[in-house]
Amino acid sequence: MKSEIWKALVVISIPLFLFWAVPGFTAPVDVGEVIGVIQKTEGRANVIRQGQALPLYPGFTVLKNDTLQTGADGSISVIFQDETQLALGAESTLLINEYVFAPKKGKFSIVLKMIRGTAVYLSGLISKLAPDAARFETPSASVGIRGTKFAVKVEGR
């Protein structure tokens, strides 16, 4: 009986060892910390993550440094961990520059950069708990967010 258990452990352990110890046997992508979830998508909608374009769908997890993009027929709705809500319209590109929501540590920050397109933003807990820690940037302006809802359109690019 003990020898059968030992054999089973060896059979399981060798592939795990190779996966972690041998160069070339690595996880496909470092997933990082989840900061939000896609609630709804329509048309062409992608995230650019580590140089790869991935199609978005409801339930897709959003990470810091992701770039959200929509095509001519696309739209995206995102909800962040702090209950911030963001909707992007057609032909939009938005970079999530910074996101920290650590209430136990008293650390908060959200910085979104709109490259082009349209967005509707409804602030969540970060802008309520730490108003100076929330910012929405465009190529020509930077908006400090103090607990509000707004729409923005960035033309060009």
Q: What is the pTM of this model?
A: 0.76
DSSP 8-state code for residue 74:
-
Mean pLDDT in consecutive groups of 10 residues from the start of the chain, 157 residues: 49 42 40 89 96 96 97 97 96 96 94 95 92 87 69 80
What pLDDT, on a 0 to 100 scale, did the predictor assign at position 32? 67
What pLDDT, on a 0 to 100 scale, did the predictor assign at position 147? 65
CA 126 and chain centroid, separation: 16
Tell me how many degrees the CA angle 141-121-133 measures, rounded to the nearest 5.
65
